[in-house]
Amino acid sequence: MEQQVLQEVIVKVQQVQVAELLVLQVEIIMVKQEQQTLEVVAEVVLLQATIKLLVVMVVQE
């Protein structure tokens, strides 16, 4: 009887650990995606700045 209860507890603990790992993986993926979007935003801002510089140079000539 005790053995079976222990076994069930162990299974439940393992399920919880697996669930926690999955949550961690999802959080890591979300953080990675946020970093990517930040990089994309930075690239767009750089492009806009470059275009403005080119326009200013053309106007000055």
pLDDT digits (tens, 9 = 90+) for 12-48: 888 888 888 888 888 888 888 888 888 888 888 888 8
pLDDT at 4 over 80: yes
Please report, for residues 23, 24, 25, the alpha-carbon distance to residue 17 in angstroms, rounded to integers and kept in the order given.
Answer: 10, 10, 12
DSSP string for residues in 1-61: -HHHHHHHHHHHHHHHHHHHHHHHHHHHHHHHHHHHHHHHHHHHHHHHHHHHHHHHHHHH-
Report pTM.
Answer: 0.49
pLDDT at 52 over 80: yes
